[in-house]
Amino acid sequence: MSGSKVLGGARRRRTRCRRCQACLRTECGECHFCKDMKKFGGPGRMKQSCLLRQCTAPVLPHTAVCFACGEAGKEDTVESEEEKFSLSLMECTICNEIIHPSCLKMGKSEGIINDEIPNCWECPKCHKEGKTSKDQGDGLGKRRMDNGEVSRWKLTDEPPPSKKKSLSLEDGARRKKDKELPQESGSRKKIKAARDKHLKKQKAKPNSSDSSEANGPNSSLGGGHGSAGGSGAAQPSTPSQDQRSHHREKLERFKRMCQLLERVRDSSSSSSSSSESGSESDSDSPSPAAASEPPSPAAVYSGSMRERNRRLAELGFSASEDSDGESAAADRGEVNARVRRAVVDAEADDDEDRAGDRGHRVSAADPSSPLSATQLPPFGHGHLAGLSSSKRTNGQDARNGRTRVAGRELQEKENSSSSTVTNHRHTAVKTARGSRMRGGSRQGQSIPSSKSTGTAAAGSGTANGNSGTSNPGSMSLAPHRSQLVKRSAVAVPSPPRPLQMERHLVRPPPACPEPHCLPLDSGASHVLPRDVWLHVFQHLSQPQLCVCMRVCRTWSRWCCDKRLWTQIDLSRQRSITPPMLSSIIRRQPVSLNLGYTNISKKQLMWLINRLQGLLELNVAGCSWSSVSALCQSVCPCLRLLDLSWVEDLKDSHLRELLAPPSNDTRSAHGENRGGRFQNVAELRLAGLEVTDAVSRLLVRYLPHLSKLDLGQCCHITDQSIHTLTSAISPLRESLTHVSLAGCVKVTEQCLPLLRRCASLQSVDLRSCGLLAPDVCQLHCFPSAEDRLLLKNS
DNA sequence: TGTAACGTGCTT
DNA sequence: AAGCACGTTACA
């Protein structure tokens, strides 16, 4: 808390929006934090939100007011977007000041809006001063950027190891005891904490109000510390302590980042000549070096962008990388490699855009033309993380940001540095994390690390489709994405770590406006507006889209449009990596094919819980140990579930999967009442060793089932058909397509039973050994008359 | 006033 | 680096 108030006022803690999917969800009752809650029988010490309910768009508290005029946001009073913006409260990620853009004397247009977090930007003042989040990082700090999201958005959905748990309990008890008893450590701690606090307060108080006011909204400016300004009492107006520690933290982070980068570079085939230094974090580190890219003229985004670009370049993801990548591609297949690279870069760009691009002047800034690849500096992992984090900074980062730098020691406090205080600290951890995952962090969730099969299977991926047609975007991005991921995985080979380690915030792509025009070098806009380009993109294949994403930031963002990625096919990608997961989340596909992958349970759970809009899920050929993740998820929207050939899936498993959660607490949610997948209309169980018992489950828990695939289920008999088509079965009316192909135990007895289905349109009875050859075929009868034909047959 | 939970320090 | 604990903030 202390950190919170720095500049312009106390930094306001953000609170949940209450509108996003996460906020609307009910507690899962199963995650680590839920289990801690008293309502779920826990001790209630952790006081953290359910992992599934972590808001993806935390907002400023209702009580937040403009630093300048003291009034709340008034965007509701106007209609136009521009006015809304002017009258809404915007919180600067750098100085933390909350202000109405209209209350700023300087052009509000110079601020860089963070699309990912509501009411979040880098205010014009900070910008003008060239304080990018990064810059601050160095000295001043602050930044909420790092997103601390991480810390909170950990992927702890799964219960911590029991061992640990018990330990923790004991530990907890012990701790408590310690505290209660005048034990040394405990008391000492407390004392220390108290003292620190006290110090902080003392320092802060004097300034707090004054300083902020005195300095004006941007107290941050004043000096490095400015950012911190006066708000909080906690943050010492005195630059000293916190700043010191921040400074230190930053340095550490920087170092770590460098190391990470190094690693990346080494490992990745495409290492480019980069300077290590800057890489650290995206953000904060002061980057030394010269930018690999030419500085862009655009004022606004120039500073930060440049920095970012530079860093990217340093990471080796710059255009030069292409060549590298290509050579590498040779090994695995040029196309794939290329696509992969493209995706990666694109992603990076994407992220970057979000981060920096918000200014919307991207291309202009770039020396290269909008079409030139150079313009978009591909990101290194770290960058992404950094960037995104910077955007997200506010509350979230803070949350993540746990800094554990030693920096808090008194010594540090005593040293004074001119640096400013930062509210948020990022931890190296974050950065590191970010770097690993590169996916944007948009959704606020941590990504489970992949099992790490490092290599990848070849991607079959070609495009399935382009769909250019019907839906604006239905393309399967499969290979690309997967490859992308792969690449990243390759690039940053991290030693096998516990799955739980990854914590990366991934927010869904912002719904916010993207640049509507394509800026050209000349400063003018391309004649074709975004909408037109999107129409074009809809007709491109995945590889083509990926290529487009590398053209320029604007294209990168446009190509990231969810409509272009409604279907994501990662099937047969043996390695599902965190970046892949991140990419998926960001695209929020409607259809996801994870068939024949080695996705882990944790990964799947993580994904499903963050894809609440998912309508189709294919986990065919995966192992039950992974698919069982679905038992701990709720997918009320799911319409198609493909469980074909899931290894080791038995009747009991299916029961567990389809039945509503037994947990009482959750039964409260209506969604669970009819079973987890009560709205599933198409279920594929081909190749499973299930018995007739499953038919009862289907009748009971999948009342809306219309398409059922029991092909190759050798234990299925006529009994199942009987159950499915009995008078009390809702499926009798709903079934339209049934496949019993290869069900060797099905006899002709099933035919009269099937006739009871009023809506049946087709029955696949091929390869049913006990049926006469003339019956053993695919029967299609779209109309009642046709059904009669079947009957006659 | 009570509950939820954010943000951060401290421990492991 | 991960996780725990808890003061404090936000809000009903």
List the A168 CA – C3 C1' distance (angstroms). Answer: 9
Find out whether A26 and A666 touch, Cβ atoms under 8 Å: yes
List the A634 CA – B8 C1' distance (angstroms). Answer: 32
Give all strands (DSSP E) within A423-476, no chain letters. Answer: 442-443, 466-467, 474-475
List the A29 CA – B2 C1' distance (angstroms). Answer: 21
Which nucleotide's C1' atom has the smallest distance to the CA of A47? B5
pLDDT computed for residue A690 by the predictor: 93
Burial A596-625 (b: 16+ CB within 10 A, else e): bbbbbbbbbbbbbbbbbebbbbbbbbbbbe
Give chain A's count of helices (H) and strands (E): 33, 17
User: Which long-range contacts does A168-177 make (Cβ < 8 Å, 24+ apart)?
Assistant: A172/A43, A172/A45
Report d(CA A672, CA A96) in Å as an integer.
42
pLDDT computed for residue A656 by the predictor: 87
Tens of pLDDT along A563-615? 888 888 888 886 787 777 877 877 788 999 999 988 888 788 888 877 878 99
Report d(CA A639, CA A617) in Å as an integer.
8
Report d(CA A220, CA A65) in Å as an integer.
18
Q: What share of chain A is helix, strand, coil (3-state, %, to 5)?
A: 45, 5, 45
pTM reported for the whole predicted model: 0.45
Report d(CA A474, CA A593) in Å as an integer.
13
Report d(CA A144, CA A164) in Å as an integer.
31
pLDDT computed for residue A514 by the predictor: 63
Q: What phi and psi values does residue A544 have, to the nearest 5 degrees?
A: -65, -40
Q: What phi and psi values does residue A494 have, to the nearest 5 degrees?
A: -110, 150
Which nucleotide's C1' atom has the smallest distance to the CA of A433? C1
Helix (H) or strand (E) holding A365: helix A362-365
pLDDT computed for residue A216 by the predictor: 33
List the A11 CA – B5 C1' distance (angstroms). Answer: 17
Tell me the average confidence (pLDDT) per consecutive run of 10 residues in chain A, 793 residues long.
39 81 80 84 85 82 84 81 84 83 76 77 80 42 33 34 34 38 35 38 36 33 32 34 39 40 36 32 31 31 37 30 31 35 38 35 28 29 32 34 32 34 32 32 41 33 31 33 31 32 41 65 80 86 76 78 84 78 80 90 82 90 89 83 93 88 45 70 95 93 94 93 93 93 90 90 89 80 53 49
CB proximity A15–strand C (7 Å threshold): yes
DSSP string, A660-714: PP--HHHHTSHHHHT-TTTT--EEE-TT----THHHHHHHHH-TT--EEE-TT-T
pLDDT computed for residue A659 by the predictor: 84
List the A325 CA – B10 C1' distance (angstroms). Answer: 44
Residue nearest to nucleotide B10 (CA to C1'): A189
CB proximity A47–strand C (7 Å threshold): yes
- Say if strands A778-780 and A98-99 run parallel, antiparallel, or are unpaired: unpaired
- Residues shown for chain A: 793
The contacts of residue A339 (CB under 8 Å, 6+ apart) are: A479, A480, A483, A484, A542, A543, A546
Tens of pLDDT along A492-529? 333 333 333 333 444 444 444 466 777 777 777 788 88
Q: Report chain A's terminal Cα–Cα distance, integer Å.
A: 77
Which nucleotide's C1' atom has the smallest distance to the CA of A497? C1
Report d(CA A675, CA A633) in Å as an integer.
11
Domains in chain A, start-ordered, CATH in brackets?
A: 15-129 (3.30.40.10), 567-660+676-777 (3.80.10.10)
The contacts of residue A535 (CB under 8 Å, 6+ apart) are: none
